[in-house]
Structure 1
Amino acid sequence: NNSYWIYRLNRLLSSCQSKNGENLFSSSMTLNSTMKKLFDSKQYKEALNLFDQNFKISTDSTIDMAIKACTISKDYKRGIRIQQRLSSQSRNNSYIQAALLCFYLESKDIDNAMHLFSSITNKSNYMYTVMFKGLITNKMAEKVLDLFDEMKIEPDHFTLSTLFNACAVLNNNRAMKIGKKLLAEMPENYRNDNITSTAAIDMLMKFGDVESAERIFRSMKTKNIITYGAM
């Protein structure tokens, strides 16, 4: 059970700890495996201590876990220290970039989030979705539309749902114009996606366009409690 695994992990950590405080892990694979077990058992502080002691043999996968552990445990200072130690190769790893974006946004460090986002040359829809959600959470939905105006790729259904959410939050002339245009141009296969359609319904209801919202609602093949709540 979970308690047994935690006990085993703590024994393993104790056995790997030398007297001078430096760990004896010789394999990146072993470090990754142990970090993952600690992460999965929500022992974030222990995972980060282990990471700090073995940074030299950490892989991008280990770094990704460490940044996520900082985000979850709200350890801002440690997250910044990790970011400062990253190699240029790790800085260009898309998973690490996404993890850092989440970290900054959860920490309400919008300046660093924006700086990092602007430095990413190949932005994926996942990157945009992370950024958009973080900005909405930080009450900066207008900035979502600014970034959307600069977007060079077509939004997928996750990004589109987040854009609908931003438009619903803003509920102003600009948001109405963009939101309705996005909805009109939305690919047909996205209309069968429950999350996207529900976000569109919520947006239209916020706009006061009940008729259009009802039309989408009736066309949905499957509905859940969130869909009914949006209506």
Structure 2
Amino acid sequence: MKKKLVILSGAGISAESGIKTFRDYNGLWENHRIEDVASPEGFARNPQLVLDFYNARRRQLTEVEPNTAHILLAELEAFFDVHIITQNVDDLHERGGSTKIIHLHGELTKAKSIKENSTIVDYVDDIKIGDLHPDGSQLRPHIVWFGEMVPEMDKAIEIASQADLFLVIGTSMQVYPAASVLRYIPSHCEVFVIDPNLENPNSFTRNENYFKASATEGMKKLKQILIEKYQ
């Protein structure tokens, strides 16, 4: 039976493909305040601004490609039972070839109704005022905004609790509740970290399991180590 390798990925892996993150802009997300484009209150105040913002981000997905780190993670499925828990809302893990992915913060390529607990629908076009969900209500991006529940969290915790190996890649571990997933891994689970800027990696893993590198450079080293050590 293949060992279960669970991966928690964050903005750092997508940044190498050219996806911008709000942390690069001192609290501004592509020149917008987070409160204006990533909260229910912001959507209520100015739905057009919010829709325009996510439409632009959705269109950007057609201009970027998965990078080597995405592809190497997908290749590990030949050797491990790989599950990815990602904070990213892009589809680069899917396009890189990974097959088991939990999107904690939603997905740019999906939409839902402004009503709570609505059915999620695939949506790759711009969302405009007047575009309706099958339930008759206005569509909004399928994004978990600040102040909203994280519906996939229970599933992520369940997967993490079964991990034999756990990899943290491209995340500062400062975003909650996503970062709390690590609390649920089993005591026997080996933890690896790839991040060039993590402030205190020793709180997550041993020195030899920390790769102070970009997602791509770290994965080039770690992939072979995992295969040689755990196969």
**TM-score, length of structure 2 as denominator length:** 0.24
Query: Which structure has the highest strand share of the two?
Result: 2
Which has more radius of gyration? 1
Query: Which structure has the highest helix share of the two?
Result: 1
**TM-score, length of structure 1 as denominator length:** 0.24
